[in-house]
């Protein structure tokens, strides 16, 4: 097969598919040099032949016959850009069953059916590449799978959803309110079709499931990722956290793995302004990985968008094409290690963290001592307390705890809520993630 062209079929011609075909056309010479062979686009499967397309294709390339594409013995690599877990699953499984390699950008499909997909790929000796599924063109999948191949990953802190990061940046930097920031994100075209997938952390949980599964070498089911969205985060707390404690708000996807104990959670969190993740603003994404022996590294970039995703899909195609052209096709290509067992993260109540909290209380003597007493009874110790301003009907008390167990903090908050004479409403609670990083002590 060496020296011949490698033949690819693309299923789905939306913005990513269009960007991909343009990339393959524009960077043809570079790609040939890197692959050692020519890539030949053999078919592009779409739903309608009549729609106007933003790319020029040779006659006969466009088709609506998905089965014919899968059955074409000439096709080496099938690129699934349909999305969702319905037709996409049939395409991916169908291609693997026929011994074809697969490139997919489909985070939901991968996260939901990880073990099944990689088992099938292994049985058939095929590769599945999925760089675009997390952080689009920022090559975090390849970095975990290959660049850090000799490492044990101990933690990952990810800003994996661009929409929520954009919203939080607008609230924190421009003082915008949540509704206005969400409207602006929609106007900018960076939301999922259903923005609830963004703001409730579903998108980030899928991505964390994929990164965690690679790091663990076993499936981390998306349903096992503890998930809280940003809809309950108040602008007031973002302001207090910034002004009183120098924290920035992020929707963090957190993975930790130490002594066979796995944590996997997506929730709003405050990070120190000097943390490299705090500089990740607007719709940008980043992941801060700590591993043995490498230490800490961070990858940063635009984690969404047609061109960024097209870059990732192109790199996956080139990766597989190299293998096909050097004759390894038909043997195991996927570097994803996995066991059949799914990982089970510890319940959120057992997770330890620092906490930011705000209470609205009656403005009278002895309140602070009763509040700190409630925390003391649950073994939660307080690092600092402020009473930033007094209002007509009550005062805000803002505090940061030392590291404490989530369950203990919840129990302490339960005690407070029962103190009806002094506590006016449920406290605002946000976890704090500090970690180790360069410049922490400056």
**In the complex, minimum distance from the CB of residue 261 to a copy of itself, in angstroms, rounded to a whole number:** 17
Between 133 and 169, name the residue whose CB sits nearer to a copy of itself. 169
Asked if 104 interacts with a copy of itself (CB under 8 A), we say no
Q: Output 82-85 pairs: Cβ under 8 A, ≥24 positions apart.
A: 82/11, 82/12, 82/106, 83/12, 83/108, 84/108, 84/109, 85/109, 85/112, 85/113
**In the complex, minimum distance from the CB of residue 355 to a copy of itself, in angstroms, rounded to a whole number:** 25
| Rounded-to-integer distance, Cα 167 and Cα 149, Å | 35
Contact 402, 354 (CB under 8 A): yes
- Reply yes or no on whether 207 is catalytic: yes
Asked if 284 interacts with a copy of itself (CB under 8 A), we say yes
**In the complex, minimum distance from the CB of residue 66 to a copy of itself, in angstroms, rounded to a whole number:** 25
Stretch of residues binding a copy of itself (CB under 8 A), selected from 43-51, 78-86, 220-228, 326-334: 326-334
**In the complex, minimum distance from the CB of residue 292 to a copy of itself, in angstroms, rounded to a whole number:** 8
Question: 367: part of which helix (H) or strand (E)?
Answer: helix 367-377
Asked if 294 interacts with a copy of itself (CB under 8 A), we say yes
**In the complex, minimum distance from the CB of residue 230 to a copy of itself, in angstroms, rounded to a whole number:** 19
**In the complex, minimum distance from the CB of residue 149 to a copy of itself, in angstroms, rounded to a whole number:** 4
The one among 61, 62, 120, 332 contacting a copy of itself by CB under 8 A: 332
Contact 225, 205 (CB under 8 A): yes
Asked if 17 interacts with a copy of itself (CB under 8 A), we say no
Backbone torsion region of residue 332, taken as left when φ is above 0, otherwise alpha when ψ lies between -120 and 50, otherwise beta: beta
Asked if 435 interacts with a copy of itself (CB under 8 A), we say no
From first CA to last CA, the distance across the chain in angstroms is: 58
Asked if 299 interacts with a copy of itself (CB under 8 A), we say yes
- Site residues for a copy of itself, 137-166, by CB under 8 A, read 137-139, 142-143, 145-152
The one among 76, 112, 131, 263 contacting a copy of itself by CB under 8 A: 131
- Site residues for a copy of itself, 204-243, by CB under 8 A, read 217
Backbone angles phi, psi at 156, to 5 degrees: -135, 130
3-state helix/strand/coil string of 192-212: CCCCHHHHCCHHHHHHHHHHH
Give the interface size with a copy of itself as a residue count (CB under 8 A). Answer: 76
Stretch of residues binding a copy of itself (CB under 8 A), selected from 28-36, 72-80, 258-266, 389-397: 28-36
Between 118 and 355, name the residue whose CB sits nearer to a copy of itself. 118
Contact 92, 115 (CB under 8 A): no
Q: Which of 7, 100, 207, 250 is catalytic?
A: 207
Stretch of residues binding a copy of itself (CB under 8 A), selected from 233-241, 255-263, 291-299, 427-435: 291-299
| Rounded-to-integer distance, Cα 31 and Cα 36, Å | 8
- Site residues for a copy of itself, 41-70, by CB under 8 A, read none
The one among 12, 17, 19, 427 contacting a copy of itself by CB under 8 A: 19
Asked if 419 interacts with a copy of itself (CB under 8 A), we say no
Contact 269, 250 (CB under 8 A): yes
**In the complex, minimum distance from the CB of residue 107 to a copy of itself, in angstroms, rounded to a whole number:** 18
Asked if 270 interacts with a copy of itself (CB under 8 A), we say no
Asked if 1 interacts with a copy of itself (CB under 8 A), we say no
Q: Which of 161, 173, 174 is nearest to 267 (CA)?
A: 161
Backbone angles phi, psi at 23, to 5 degrees: -60, -45
CB atoms within 10 A of CB 176: 17
Contact 162, 283 (CB under 8 A): yes
Contact 96, 102 (CB under 8 A): yes
- The catalytic residues are 207
């Amino acid at each position: 097969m060496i020296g011949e062209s490698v033949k690819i079929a693309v299923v789905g011609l939306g913005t990513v598919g269009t960007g991909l075909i343009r990339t393959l056309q524009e960077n043809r010479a570079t790609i040939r040099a890197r692959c050692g062979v020519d890539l030949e686009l053999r078919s592009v499967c779409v739903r309608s032949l009549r729609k106007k397309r933003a790319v020029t294709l040779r006659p006969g390339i466009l088709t609506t016959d998905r089965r014919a594409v899968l059955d074409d013995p000439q096709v080496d690599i099938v690129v699934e850009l349909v999305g969702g877990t319905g037709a996409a699953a049939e395409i991916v499984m169908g291609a693997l069953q026929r011994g074809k390699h697969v490139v997919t950008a489909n985070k939901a499909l991968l996260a939901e059916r990880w073990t099944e997909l990689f088992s099938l790929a292994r049985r058939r000796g095929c590769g599945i590449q999925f760089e675009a599924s997390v952080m689009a063109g920022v090559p975090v999948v390849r970095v975990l799978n290959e660049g850090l191949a000799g490492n044990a990953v101990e933690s990952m802190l990810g800003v994996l959803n661009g929409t929520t990061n954009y919203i939080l940046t607008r609230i924190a930097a421009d003082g915008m309110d949540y509704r206005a920031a969400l409207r602006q994100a929609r106007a900018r075209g960076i939301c999922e079709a259903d923005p609830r997938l963004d703001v409730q952390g579903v998108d980030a949980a899928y991505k964390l499931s994929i990164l965690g599964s690679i790091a663990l070498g076993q499936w981390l089911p998306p349903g096992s990722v503890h998930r809280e969205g940003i809809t309950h985060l108040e602008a007031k707390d973002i302001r207090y956290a910034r002004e009183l404690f120098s924290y920035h708000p992020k929707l963090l996807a957190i993975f930790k793995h130490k002594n066979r104990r796995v944590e996997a959670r997506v929730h709003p969190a405050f990070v120190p302004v000097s943390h490299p993740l705090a500089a990740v603003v607007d719709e940008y994404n980043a992941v801060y990985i700590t591993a043995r022996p490498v230490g800490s590294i961070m990858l940063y970039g635009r984690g969404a968008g047609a061109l960024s995703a097209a870059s990732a899909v192109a790199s996956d195609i080139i990766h597989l094409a190299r293998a096909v052209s050097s004759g390894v096709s038909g043997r195991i290509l996927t570097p994803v290690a996995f066991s059949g067992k799914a990982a089970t993260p510890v319940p959120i109540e057992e997770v330890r963290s620092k906490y930011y909290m705000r209470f609205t209380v009656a403005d009278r003597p002895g309140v602070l001592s009763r509040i700190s007493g409630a925390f003391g009874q649950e073994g939660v110790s307080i690092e600092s307390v402020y009473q930033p301003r007094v209002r007509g009907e009550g005062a805000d008390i803002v505090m940061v705890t030392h590291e404490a167990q989530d369950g203990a903090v919840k129990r302490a908050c339960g005690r407070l809520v029962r103190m009806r004479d002094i506590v006016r409403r449920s406290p605002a609670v946000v976890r704090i993630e500090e970690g180790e990083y360069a410049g922490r002590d400056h």
